[in-house]
Structure 1
Amino acid sequence: MKRRHLVLGAAGAAAAGAGVGWNLWRQPPPVVLDENTLAFWQAAFTRPEGGELAMRSMFGQPLVLNFWATWCPPCVKEMPELDRFAKAFASQGGRVVGLAVDNPTAVRQFLAKTPVSYGIGLAGFDGTELSRKLGNSTGALPFTAMFDRQGRIVQRKLGETTHDELLGWAKTL
C-alpha cells in the first residue's frame, strides 16, 4: 500500500511539474526595454496650452510619436495626415503625440492657426537628442516612431509620413 501511494505521489508531482513547465513555456518572455526607450516612457513634456503630457500615462497603448517643428516644411505638410490618422487610430485604442523641437512661443502661435486633435508636447531643442536616442541617427525632422502595447519601438521613419503609411503600420500591431 505504501509503495502504491509513493508511485501515485511521484506521478502526481511529475504531472504538476509538467503542467507548470508547459505554462511557463507557453508564456512569452517578459519585455525588457532598453535604457533610452525606458527613459522616454518616464519623460513628461509641457503642453502648449499648459499642463503636462506624461508619456507614462500612455504606456500600454499603441503610440505614434512624431518629432516636428514649425520651421520644417515637411513637418507642417504631414500634420493634416497625422491628424486624420490620429482620429482613426484612437478608435483602435492608439494615441498620436507630436513633440515640438522648437521655441514654445512659435509652437503656440502655429497651433492657434493650425490646430490638431492629437497631443502636442514641447520638447524644445533638446528634442533632437531624444529623437536620436529613439533611433533618429541624423537628428533631422520630421522623425516618426511607432510603439506597440509593450512600449517597444516597432516602426521608425525619417521624413514625411502619410495617413496610408501610418494605417499600414497600425495593421502590424
Structure 2
Amino acid sequence: MKKLFFTVLCALPLLTNAQSPAKPTIQVKGTIKNVKDTIDIVYATYAANGKRVTDSSLVAKGVYSFKLSLKEATRVQFTAKNTANKKAKFAQKNTAAVFLEPGIITVASVDSFSNVSVKGSKSHIEFEKLNLASKPYESKLEVLYKKYSEYSKNKEKAAMDRVEASIDSLDEIQRENVYGSYIKKNPSSPIALYSLKTFAGYEIIVEKVEPLFNLLPARLKSSPAGVEFKEKITTAKLTGIGREALDFTQNDTLGVPVKLSSLRGKYLLIDFWASWCGPCRRENPNVVKVFNEFKDQGFHIIGVSLDQPNAKEKWLKAIHDDKLTWTQVSDLQFWNNEVAKLYGIQAIPQNLLLDPNGKIIAKNLRGEALGKKLEAIFSKENAKKDEKPKGK
C-alpha cells in the first residue's frame, strides 16, 4: 500500500455507490456567502451505476441546488467555477467534498467555497470525524511530499528513497489508525464502506482488507456498492502473488491476437499503461533500460494499453517515441479494457511479474526495483547453470 506510489498514478476514481433509483432522492440546497471569487456555476461529481457522473447548477444570488438520484450514502465533490474566466486555474479552495444521503440537505459556504457546513446528513458528520482524525497525518505527509519533490528536482536519489520510506511508513500508520480503526469501531456506519475503500486503495491486499469487509453488516455487504467491492476482493485473490496468471487474448498493433499463455517459458512482465498516462510515460525509460539489459537472458514484456477508442495512432506513436520494442496489445477501450478489468486494474502504471510457468511472483515493480528483482532472479539462474554435475 505504498502512498507515494499511488499518488503518481493515472487512476480510475474510487466509486462509493453503484446504483441509483429512477426518481431523485436527494435534494441539495446550497448557499454561498462572503466568497471573494465570482461563482456562477457549481458542478457535482459523484458515482452512479458504477460510473462517474457530473451534474451542474447555475448560481443565482448565491444560491444553487441539485436533485440527485442516489439511494446510498455517497461522497459528492462540489466544484465552483466562474465560466467567464476560462483561464482561471483549478483551486483547492473552490472544491468541497460532502457526504450526502437521501433527504433534504443544506450546504452552506462562508468566506470560502470549501468552508462548508452541512445539515441533514448524518453521513457527513461521520465523514468529518474521519477527516479530523486524518488531518495530523495529512499535514505530516504534505511536508514529506514537498521534501520528496525538492530532492527529485535535484536528483538526490538516496534522499528520495529515505523520504519515500517515511511516506510509506506514515501511510501505513494512517490507514490502520484512522480508516482501519474506524471500520472496527463503526462497522454499521453509512460511510464504513467508503472508509474500507480508502483503506484498501487501488491495490487490494486481501489479507488486510477481507477481514475488515467481513465486519460489515449484511445490509452493507449486500448493497450494490458492497457487492461490487466483494467482487474486487475476489479478483484480488485470483491475481495475488503465487497464483497462476489469468489467461487472456488481445490484439497486437497489427490486429493479430496474442494469448498470454503463448509467452510462457520466460520471465514475463505484464505492463499496464497508456499513451495518455503521464506517470506511465515517465516510467517507460526505466522499463526500456531493464528490457534491454535482460531480454537476452530470458525476460520479455507484454504491454497492455488502456488507450481510448479511436486513439490507435496515439498509442502507436507512444510506442515508437518511447522505444517500446516488446509485445503490445490493446482493445482501445480505456478503463473498460477487458484485460484490465480481468485483473482488477484501477490505476496505471501497474505491472505483474510472472515466472516461466505463468505464476505471479511480484507486483508493481517500478524504477530500480524491477531491475534489482530481475538481477537477483538471473543471478540465481546463472549460478545453477554454472554448477558442475555431481558424481554418483
Question: What is the Cα deviation at residue 98 of structure 1?
Answer: 1.0
- Is this contact kept in 2: 1:59–1:150, CA < 8 A? yes
The question of whether the paired residues in 2 share the 8 Å contact of 1:67 and 1:101 is answered with: yes
Offset, 1:123 = 4.4
How far the C-alpha of 1:60 sits from its partner, in A, is 2.5
Which of the pair has the greater relative contact order for Cα pairs under 8 Å at 6+ separation? 1
Secondary structure at the residue paired with 1:128?
Answer: helix
Equivalent of 2:369, from 156, 165, 168? 165
2:317 aligns with 109
- Once the 2 structures are TM-superposed, how far is the Cα of residue 39 of structure 1 from its aligned partner? 6.7
Q: Aligned in 2, Cα 1:38/1:123: closer, same or farther, shift over 3 Å? A: farther
Cα distance, 1:99 vs. partner?
0.6
2:350 corresponds to: 143
Query: Percent sequence identity over matched residues?
Result: 21
Q: Counterpart amino acid of 1:118?
A: W
**After TM superposition, where is structure 1 displaced by more than 6 Å over at least 4 residues in a row?**
none
Q: Match of 2:253, SS?
A: coil
* Structure that is richer in strand per residue: 2
Gaps of 5+ in 2: 1-236, 378-392
- Structure-1 separation of matches of 2:322 and 2:371: 23
Tell me the equivalent position of 1:46: 251
Following the alignment from structure 1 to structure 2, what is the Cα–Cα distance between the partners of residues 40 and 109?
29
* CA shift digits 1:71-109 (9 cap, x unpaired): 111101111111121122212111111110113513123
CA distance in 2, matches of 1:144, 1:38: 15
SS in 1 for 2:246: helix
State the AA in 1 paired with 2:281.
V
Deviation larger for 51-60 or 66-75? 51-60
Give 5+ residue unaligned stretches, structure 1: 1-33
Amino acid aligned to 1:116: L
Which residue does the alignment assign to 1:81? 286
Give the Cα–Cα distance (whole angstroms) in 1 for the partners of residues 285 and 357 of structure 2: 28
Which letter maps to 1:40?
L
